Structure 1
């Protein structure tokens, strides 16, 4: 979910707390890093030198070791809602098999607004030529970054990944025929009245609707489409004017009414109307089609209401801006809890795809946030736009493990 998607997460420092104790340095285990890298990348790094290790905190469960060596103690970096445990590259499931070069454009976009710890690494990334292929990209990351397993403060390393997308909808500039559902810009008094009016009040109070008339940007055909647009936080509208001419524009997040988000899918499950596996967007649309008299009641059960601003769409290949302030990249950008993972951090995902159940093991950039994205091991995967993206995002709710890739020597 884009920054766009909902309110910004609370600000959290990009600096983490490192607790130090005596540890075995990398020199005490010669070649351990180079050996694992060589196995992954076909010997590409066999001749590279080993990067010195920071002073670490011993992990509660040390890794397995040979009988002739002591357990390697691991550094732990503490963040507000997560702890990061130092890992070896060989521990990342599927590392080396991803199309790593696809991350590079997303990484450079993130470097346009880097976190403090990323200044030096981003300078090197922008100064040099892009890596030639996937192996060279993996090599560059391994030379500049160190992986950390992300887990809760209690040591739980499994979490949840969901998906989001950018809806593509038809709209009109003025209300006409079946297009009667307004998309609103933020009213002038939005920040003065907190919380603002609820969804039900905005849509049913005659005097309030009259006040908001000046803030109508476009009109949709289906109230559920408006809710989807508001949940995703951004969308592409093909707007028709009175002459019949059409233009693609983007509706970007501009604020919300400060009421809590309530899932209508969850509401239908709790009422016994749908089973958990049926509460996808297609399932909800089907239920609404069969129960039109109950549509308003269901939609009003979610009091949150999102306002937008209209933006041009000069390049349809560019995604919306996320909370980091940079364009999102389909399949390579995720929303995270900023108190667990700072914006601009590359991560390694270990999950499965929702439709095929095939492994989803790949690099992504933490570039967005969302009010429902809270916790250490929690991510929202940006699928892009169009029908396939909607189908994947609407069904994604998979177990997740992830590793943060952090600059060597940075805290």
Structure 2
């Protein structure tokens, strides 16, 4: 997660390639047009906005960030200085979720902890495409070089750690270390969820992270081959300087916040911008979030991934999310109206 490949989020396990996007269109709305706006916790959203706005380079964002430090009425801040903009590119809106995994591991290999979490070898940085997942796991090239950050007990959990791009490793003494994305081997990600559907094992609506983990556990040899269907391999770095009570680092190299951080496509949404989410589905959610992350499966103007937090419960909730809705970006007023065609400004 990312500064990173970033999580090839759980959505990427089951999604096929998106349709070709049309040229984006822009519509400026008013705050009364946002369903549930009055009922949100605008102070919570403002706190998260402050966490990353200082890293936004444009002068208008920098000015708003300075103002945000001296605001007594958070809702008035957003309503006074921003306008909600609906950006569409011809694709239907889709909300999914991601999380920070927790794995059991050790700083020493033994009979239980046998699967290494590797730092990135220097030679992998010098080439656009290095060894495949199969070649890394079957070959001796990385062994005995001190590249192991830790060893974990479950190869499937390690695979999903690589999919997510960051996580925590619980050691036997109770200590926890946090790891983040350091680089990859340069191979394209292939969805193992899509592969299970292609083989006829499951229907698309049946595939989730939990289903995949269960299938691999029940079929260890076939499961190993299934994981190697994805040639992409992620290397890590230790980021334990981030306090345990804070979220993992996102694409802005700042901690993300549970249910207030959203991953977006930065071609359409500036990183650091407030985003109004109107998610449908069985559990509708109307909330002001902040675009602080990205993901290789997050492509499109109406595509977003919500951060659910850390651990198994967060993972199960994130893995179930695949809902329609709409997303609006809150942009500084002049920037918002500048997007409109001449004659509509």
Calculate the TM-score normalised by the size of structure 2: 0.88
1:238 to 2:181 alignment: no
Task: For 1:183-198, list aligned pairs within 5 A.
Answer: 183-198=117-132
8 Å Cα contact 1:200/1:300 also seen in 2:
yes
Cα distance in 1 for partners of 2:252, 2:129 equals 25
Q: Secondary structure at the match of 1:96?
A: helix
**Matching residue of 1:147:** 84
Following superposition, the deviation at residue 278 of structure 1 comes to 2.3
**Matching residue of 2:208:** 280
**Matching residue of 2:330:** 405
Task: For 1:61-100, list aligned pairs within 5 A.
Answer: 82-100=24-42
1:258 to 2:186 alignment: yes
Following superposition, the deviation at residue 314 of structure 1 comes to 5.7
8 Å Cα contact 1:249/1:313 also seen in 2:
no
Q: Secondary structure at the match of 1:122?
A: helix
Q: Quick one: structure 1 residues 7 and 385, their matched pair in 2 at CA, closer, same or farther if it must change by over 3 Å?
A: closer
Q: Quick one: structure 1 residues 3 and 314, their matched pair in 2 at CA, closer, same or farther if it must change by over 3 Å?
A: closer
Task: For 1:170-209, list aligned pairs within 5 A.
Answer: 170-206=104-140, 208-209=141-142
**Structure possessing the higher relative contact order (Cα contacts under 8 Å, 6 or more residues apart):** 2
Residues 239-275 of structure 1, C-alpha deviation per residue, up to 9 Å, x if partnerless? 23xxxx3421110111111111111111111111122
Structure 1 alignment gaps of length 5 or more: 9-79
**Matching residue of 2:146:** 214
Q: Secondary structure at the match of 2:307?
A: strand
Cα distance in 1 for partners of 2:284, 2:268 equals 24
Cα distance in 1 for partners of 2:214, 2:147 equals 31
1:119 to 2:45 alignment: no
Following superposition, the deviation at residue 168 of structure 1 comes to 1.1
Following superposition, the deviation at residue 276 of structure 1 comes to 2.0
Total equivalences in the alignment: 323
8 Å Cα contact 1:346/1:404 also seen in 2:
yes
Q: Secondary structure at the match of 2:226?
A: helix
Cα distance in 2 for partners of 1:193, 1:218 equals 25
Following superposition, the deviation at residue 358 of structure 1 comes to 1.7
Cα distance in 2 for partners of 1:296, 1:392 equals 26
**Matching residue of 1:14:** none
Following superposition, the deviation at residue 389 of structure 1 comes to 0.8
**Matching residue of 1:106:** 48
Cα distance in 2 for partners of 1:291, 1:7 equals 25
Task: For 1:164-175, list aligned pairs within 5 A.
Answer: 164-175=98-109
Q: Secondary structure at the match of 1:224?
A: helix
Q: Quick one: structure 1 residues 198 and 81, their matched pair in 2 at CA, closer, same or farther if it must change by over 3 Å?
A: farther
Calculate the TM-score normalised by the size of structure 1: 0.74
Q: Secondary structure at the match of 2:27?
A: strand
8 Å Cα contact 1:179/1:220 also seen in 2:
yes
Cα distance in 1 for partners of 2:238, 2:287 equals 33
Larger-gyration structure (1/2): 1
Following superposition, the deviation at residue 81 of structure 1 comes to 6.6
**Matching residue of 2:246:** 318
CA RMSD for the aligned pairs?
2.1
Structure 2 alignment gaps of length 5 or more: 9-21, 339-345
8 Å Cα contact 1:198/1:304 also seen in 2:
yes
Following superposition, the deviation at residue 122 of structure 1 comes to 0.6
Following superposition, the deviation at residue 371 of structure 1 comes to 1.2
Task: For 1:26-41, list aligned pairs within 5 A.
Answer: none
